[in-house]
Structure 1
Amino acid sequence: MIGSLKRTLAIATNAFREVIRDRVLYLIVLYALVMAAAWRLLPEVAATTEDKMLLDVGLAAIDVLGSIVAIFVGTGLINKEIDKRTVLVLIPKPISRAEFIIGKQLGLSAVLGVLVALMTGIYLAFLSLAQISYPVVSILIAALYLFFKLCLLTGIALMLGVFTSSLLATLLTFGIYLMGHSSRDLLALGNLSRNADIERLTQALYLVLPDLSRLDLKNQAVYGILPDSITLLSNAVYGLLYTVLVLAIAILIFSRREF
């Protein structure tokens, strides 16, 4: 057990360093530039609502940039090892394929955690410089749940990346990202249709697709409004269980691949 944990952490550390070497942290500079531009330009175009818009833009930019990393890097983590043939060196060693997948997930999740933390710090600094009042606790909780969402998205990207090309996996993950944010609307649309077949279809899609709106709290956070503690806990558990499920599927698929 201890040996398996050490091997998994070694793979996670290597994945973390690999992603960092890809200059992902440059996104921090991009985020700072976006916030600086928004701080200067929003008063020109929104004279009375610039405070609210800056709050929205900051959290939305963290979401978008983090999702880009989770999707584009996550779908290529496994394929990169296969293309470089380094997987042929790693797999014959006493490293199970489950340790390999989990290590990659932990490594990229750690990078995303660093990105979210740094961007949130920059976000709060700009709000303070602009002398905008903000609900700090709500924003920090929203940032934490954004991290949970990015971890789930990373798991989906890894799952799709183990059995298809990086390009197709990226497109599929992006599609799931979009549908995951509208899965509740899809379910409501099916109920409004009054058609039993459509209702069953939308219910099935809702069960299969991740409900990413459970982990997206940014719209409520800017007003200092969050769900109650039980709802927050159940949403966090939902994100964890869904992430574990997609990783289990990824491990199952990867274990059946021949190299």
Structure 2
Amino acid sequence: MALSRLWTVSRNVFNEIFRERILYVTAVFALGLALAVVILGQVSAGTQDKISLDVGMAGISLFGLMIAAFVGGSLLNKELEKRTILVMLAKPISRAEFIIGKHLGLSAVLFVLVALMTLILFGIMSINQFAYPVGALSLTSLYIALQLSLLTAAALLFGSFTSSLIATLLTIALYFMGHFSQNLVILSQKMESEAVRQLMRFLYLIFPDLSRLDFKNTAVYGMIPPLGDLVASAFYGVIYTVALLAIATWIFSRRNL
């Protein structure tokens, strides 16, 4: 069955990534965050807890981005270079199932890593006796994981037609463009040229609006968007991810192996 084949591919990806000692990322994160808290304690007064939370949540997002970009960008090309993809596709596994299985496996890894890094952040905050909004930060971490799942789909898309290095660089660029894309609408309103305004609106539609999945700035103060906005943002992220996977499958299905 299709679900069984998806489970097999995603489980193999999950196990393979963890065999590559990806959990060392959480150790680096913990060490970096602990040092940041100590340093911030020397330069900030009264706002150390909020700054530490800002740094911690930003660190979770950036560490996750590196894994999504570097691992996701090389998932397909690594299979092609080792020729193991020929063995996989010789079995009753379609290229769509192969792409989706890869995505689910890496997304699962990212969800686990985001959860571990969030727990580490909570632990360090508790050790330093800082107050922090558990609910708002946990929800923010969940949406960070959803954002990283979208970026994983983008990395697979780029990897379906280009090299691992270029796919990685394009994914990182998409991350920053995605956080800037909402500003394109604001800039377009200030432009005199109608052609430029249309171009900026088109770019806004093309690039994912990752700010819709980013609540770090308000979560540190315990504030979260209304339920309707949360549902709409989650739906946006899922739909965009599905669209990227569909395009990746279409391109990969036409690639000669």
Which TM-score tier does this pair reach, normalised by the shorter chain? over 0.9
Amino acid aligned to 1:185: N
Amino acid aligned to 1:208: I
2:2 aligned partner:
4
1:152 aligned partner:
150
Q: How does 1:30-49 map to 2 (within 5 A)?
A: 30-49=28-47
Q: How does 1:2-81 map to 2 (within 5 A)?
A: 3-81=1-79
| Cα deviations by residue, 1:191-211 (Å, 9 ceiling, x for unpaired) | 111321111001000101000
**Hey, what's the Cα distance between the residues in 2 that align with 1:206 and 1:39?**
37
- The CA RMSD measured in Å over matched residues stands at 0.8
**Hey, what's the Cα distance between the residues in 1 that align with 2:45 and 2:37?**
12
Matched, 1:230 2:232: no
**Hey, what's the Cα distance between the residues in 1 that align with 2:192 and 2:21?**
51
Q: Aligned-pair distance for 1:140?
A: 0.6
Amino acid aligned to 1:143: S
- After TM superposition, the score normalised by the length of structure 2 is 0.98
Q: How does 1:174-253 map to 2 (within 5 A)?
A: 174-253=172-251
1:172 aligned partner:
170
> Between the two proteins, what is the percent identity of the paired residues?
51
**Hey, what's the Cα distance between the residues in 2 that align with 1:231 and 1:48?**
32
Amino acid aligned to 1:95: I
**Hey, what's the Cα distance between the residues in 1 that align with 2:70 and 2:248?**
17
1:100 aligned partner:
98
Amino acid aligned to 1:222: V
1:121 aligned partner:
119
Q: Aligned-pair distance for 1:227?
A: 1.1
Amino acid aligned to 1:228: P
Q: Aligned-pair distance for 1:49?
A: 2.2
The gaps in structure 1 that reach 5 residues or longer are none
**Length, aligned pairs only:** 257
